[in-house]
Amino acid sequence: MNLTRRDIRRRALAYAGESDKTSYYQGAVDDWIDDALQEMQAGMDGVEDTWTVVTVAGMRAYLLPDGFLRPKLVLFNGEAIPEIQLEAQDFYSGGNSDPAWYTIWGWPLPSILLGPQPPASAKTLTVYHHRAPLRLVSDDSVPELPGPFQPSLSFYAAAQIKLSDEDPQTADLMMRQFNQSRLEFRRFMVDNSRSNYQQVLRIEDY
C-alpha cells in the first residue's frame, strides 16, 4: 500500500511524540520528507523517465526537465544519436543535415545541445533519462519509492524533529532506522537490476 505525504507526516510526528503539534511542524516536516526522498536515492540512478520535445529549425539548445540526472538514450526523429564531449568547433558547426550528436550543457538547469542544429521544424527529440524523484507537492502526493520503503521517510523527518527539540539521542535512533531502510532499498535496487539483466540474457539466448 502506498503512503501519501499526509500519512508520512502523521507517522513522523507520532514517532517523535509530537502528534499534538501538527500545525506547528507541518511545513518543516514536509520539507524533511522531501529531503529524505532525495537522500534515499542519492548516488543511485534515480527514476527512469522519458521526455519529448518538438524541435524548431535553427534551435540548437533545449532545456531538460526538472531533476534530470543523466541521459540513457537519445533519439532524433526516431534515430539514436551519440553523446560527445563538447568542443568549441562542434558548437558552431552548421550544415543542412539532421543532428548527428548531442551533449549535455549547464548546471543546475541543464540543456541538451544538438549538432548540427536542426535544419527543419516539427521533428521529435526524445530523451530517455534518469532523474531525481519529484518533490511532493500536496498532501495526496505519493513518493516515487516502492511501497515497502515509504515508511522510512517518516523516520528521517522524525529525526529532524528531535534534533530541533535538542534531543540528539532519539534523533540518532530515528536516523539509524532510516539508514537501515536506505541500505535495504539499495540492495533491493541492485537485486532488481540484476534480475532485469538476467531476463534480457534469457531473451537473447532464446
Instruction: Read off the pLDDT of residues 127-152 as tens digits, 9 standing for 90 and up.
Output: 999 999 999 999 999 999 999 999 99
CA dist 94 → 53, 77, 98 (Å): 21, 18, 10
Cα 199 to Cα 115, 176, 194, 202, 203: the distances in Å are 36, 35, 9, 5, 6
pLDDT of residue 191: 78
**Would you say 62 and 127 are in contact if contact means Cβ atoms under 8 Å apart?**
no
For residue range 91-114, list pLDDT tens digits in order: 555 566 789 999 998 888 899 999
pLDDT at 42 over 90: no
Average pLDDT, stretch 182-187? 92
Q: How far is CA 133 from CA 20, 101, 109, 143, in A?
A: 30, 28, 16, 8
Residue 205, beta-bridge partner list: none
Q: What is the pLDDT of residue 141?
A: 97
Residue 199 cell numbers, joined: 531476463
Q: What is the structure's pLDDT at 78?
A: 94
